[in-house]
Amino acid sequence: MNIELQCCALFIIFSISVMFMYEKKLDLMNRRLFQRAIIACFACLIFDVLSVILINLSVYSGFNPFITEIVCKLYIMLLVLQGFFGYVYASTSLLPRDRAWAKAARTISYLIFALGEILMLLLPISFTAAGRVVYSYGPSTSVAYILSAVYILSTIITTVVYKKDMPGRRFIAMLLWQGIWLLAAAIQFLRPELLLVGFASSFGMVVLYIQLENPSENIDGPTGLFNTNALSAYVHDKYRFDRRFSMFTAKIHYLTTYVDYNMEQEAVMRTARALVNLGPEPVFRIDDDTFCVVYDDRERMLERAADIKKQKDGVTDIPANGTYLLIPDSTIMSGPDEFFRFLHTYLENEQEITVASEELVRRLRDQNRIKELIDEALRTDRVEVFYQPFYNVREDCFDTAEALVRIRREDGSIVPPGEFIPVAEETGQIIPLGIRIFEKVCEFLKKGEADRYGLKQIEANISAAQFDYDNPAKFVIQLIEEYRIDPGKLNLEITETAAARNRDIMLKNMNVLIERGITFSLDDFGTGRSNIDYFVNMPVTIIKFDYSFTHSFFENDKTKFVLTGMVDILHKLNMSVVAEGIETEEQMRVMKDMGVEYMQGYYFSRPVPEDEFITFLRQRIPTTDLQG
């Protein structure tokens, strides 16, 4: 009998089913649908073999033809069911769930399937056998062929239409699965003795299993836990099918800068074992030292989180602490993208325990809104430079100014820098912002108008983030050369944070630029870890006292003594001092008496756009100087 290929296919499907059942896996919708497709394929193959056997018995041995017809009908009905499950497997993860047309398409597909199954059951079927040529035919079989073709083509079309919404590997696997099946059906239709459909369907299952449903690629090798890819798939699945969940995340923080490899591995494995022992819920290792457990029940999550923290507090032989992020209700986030943004943002929180709340999510949304605002401003050139002049005490003039970044909204209003600078620092957007500002400063200097009114130098900020790179001096040199700017007209401000964070890289780049003629100042002095080493060994010529430090001088006697002493020390080191935040005539007079060379603040001018700054300079330069 012509059942060799079907028997091979049965063995293949049985092997896949055993591996699928016993391998560690997540409860994903796609896996449920794949499981249904395997069961349908297995049942279809069994009835395929049984129908061939019974057809031979009926034709050659007088077996009851009615029973054979029933088995043949069950086989073709299962064949259509397999095609239907294939379409559902593809469309469930691709078609939008909230669109009316998608809901209607799903309803129609179910109705067509139900109607087809009824027709196949009611319509007559016949069979024949002549040597190795064994097959069934008739109206019932014709319906089966038509419906199978409809489902296969629908699956292929859906896969092609939504190609951009799936990984390339999934796209290829789906096309191979359905394409092989369609080709086999066409060959069997033309050559009935070649019973290829069953084998082709099992081969398609092998392709899907290897490419899409093999769980080994979702497992973290060292711990046996699920990995980051698995968490992403799990969370996307939960949100797509409206399944509320809670999550508990634990991060190991080592208390020493040097951690022995064996000790680190011991901490990781202990954490993994402790989390697995909490219960049957899936445990994920999402970073070297970060783990999470996903729960369907909020109260169970809170209870288990308390258990794991208690266990951690009892560990005394490993120098490490834990920080914990709890997400009691996934619905406070709009979807997986916001969920993972939240996770990425608050996993680095220094608090021991952080509980996700609507307030924290709102802050994250505000941050994302600002990030998009910065991107849009960079794209549409709504990044502007405002200038705030320095009063030169010795020369009694305004010959220096600080370039400050501003973003203008579409309605013309200005975004306060305190609103977007912290976000830009955190997201890395401060780097393109800094480059854009520096370029605009170069454009301004090239015009020469400020030169005419006595401006000798402009200060521009260099972010700590820019010193994370080996060559942040490159863009400065390129722009200076492009705009043919005298480097002596530029002073770059660095902060204490930048000085402390990336000292070696920073010094290398500072020295490159100093050789070109650019000077440096240390900004915001008094707000960070003010260390004498920062300005003694830094190649800076100017120290800027922060607004808060300056104001504290007038409110705190201790600060007064410190600041007075610092001015004296800096002068002995041949450094100049800028006092920020000068707002009154009295503050100006006191700073002048103390020997401060430069002052900056609202008493003189707020930061203003380029045209207003030029007006400011023009109004304050003597007429004789202007004529000369």
CB atoms within 10 A of CB 99: 10
Set out the domains of the chain in order of their start, with CATH numbers: 4-216 (1.20.1070.10), 219-356 (3.30.70.270), 367-627 (3.20.20.450)
Q: Which of 625, 621, 579, 613 is nearest to 441 (CA)?
A: 613
pLDDT, tens digit (0-9, with 9 covering 90-100), for 317-366: 777 888 899 999 999 999 999 999 999 888 877 788 999 999 999 999 99
**Residue 527 — pLDDT band, cuts 50, 70, 90?**
low
What phi and psi, each to the nearest 5 degrees, are found at residue 491? -125, 130
Q: For residue 248, what pLDDT is reported?
A: 92
Q: Which of 210, 353, 340, 336 is nearest to 287 (CA)?
A: 340
**Residue 627 — pLDDT band, cuts 50, 70, 90?**
very low
Q: Find out whether 38 and 21 touch, Cβ atoms under 8 Å.
A: no
What's the rounded Cα separation, in Å, for the pair 31 and 218? 13
> What tokens appear for 417 in the block?
């820098």
Pick the range with the lowest mean pLDDT from 219-223, 335-339, 522-526, 617-621.
Answer: 522-526
Pick the range with the lowest mean pLDDT from 271-275, 384-388, 503-507.
Answer: 503-507
What is the crossing angle of helices 4-22 and 197-208, to 10°? Answer: 20
C-alpha distances (whole Å) from 393 to each of 577, 580, 589 are 11, 13, 10
| CA count, 13 A, side-chain hemisphere, 132 | 9
pLDDT, tens digit (0-9, with 9 covering 90-100), for 406-426: 999 989 899 988 899 988 988
> What tokens appear for 204 in the block?
């398609």
pLDDT, tens digit (0-9, with 9 covering 90-100), for 138-174: 999 999 989 988 888 888 898 888 888 777 778 888 8
| CA count, 13 A, side-chain hemisphere, 94 | 24
Q: Find out whether 249 and 207 touch, Cβ atoms under 8 Å.
A: no
What's the rounded Cα separation, in Å, for the pair 166 and 169? 8
Q: For residue 209, what pLDDT is reported?
A: 80
- Whose tokens are 């450094």? That residue is 575
Please calculate the CA angle 384-388-390 and round it to the nearest 5 degrees: 150
Long-range (24+ apart) CB contacts under 8 A made by 335-344 are 335/239, 336/232, 336/235, 336/236, 336/239, 338/364, 338/365, 338/368, 339/235, 339/239, 340/232, 340/235, 341/368, 343/249
pLDDT, tens digit (0-9, with 9 covering 90-100), for 198-208: 778 888 888 88
What's the rounded Cα separation, in Å, for the pair 455 and 248? 58
> 416: helix, coil or strand?
coil
What's the rounded Cα separation, in Å, for the pair 45 and 42? 5
Q: Which residues contact 179 (CB under 8 A, 6 or more apart)?
A: 156
**For the chain, how are helix, strand and coil distributed in percent, rounded to 5?**
60, 15, 25
- Whose tokens are 């290398």? That residue is 508
Q: Which stretches of 356-394 are assigned E, i.e. beta strand? A: 383-392
Looking at per-residue pLDDT, the higher value among 187 and 244 belongs to 244
Q: Find out whether 387 and 404 touch, Cβ atoms under 8 Å.
A: yes
Q: For residue 332, what pLDDT is reported?
A: 94
Residue 259: pLDDT above 70? no
What's the rounded Cα separation, in Å, for the pair 306 and 328? 13
Please give the full DSSP string across 285-344, using - where no structure is assigned: EEETTEEEEEES-HHHHHHHHHHHHHHHHT--SS-EEEEEEEES-GGGSSSHHHHHHHHH
What phi and psi, each to the nearest 5 degrees, are found at residue 349? -65, 135
The predicted model scores a pTM of: 0.72
Q: For residue 601, what pLDDT is reported?
A: 95
CB atoms within 10 A of CB 66: 9
Single-letter amino acid, residue 406: R
Please give the full DSSP string across 5-74, using - where no structure is assigned: HHHHHHHHHHHHHHHHHHS-----HHHHHHHHHHHHHHHHHHHHHHHHHHHHHHHHH---HHHHHHHHHH
Q: Which residues contact 143 (CB under 8 A, 6 or more apart)?
A: 116, 119, 120, 123
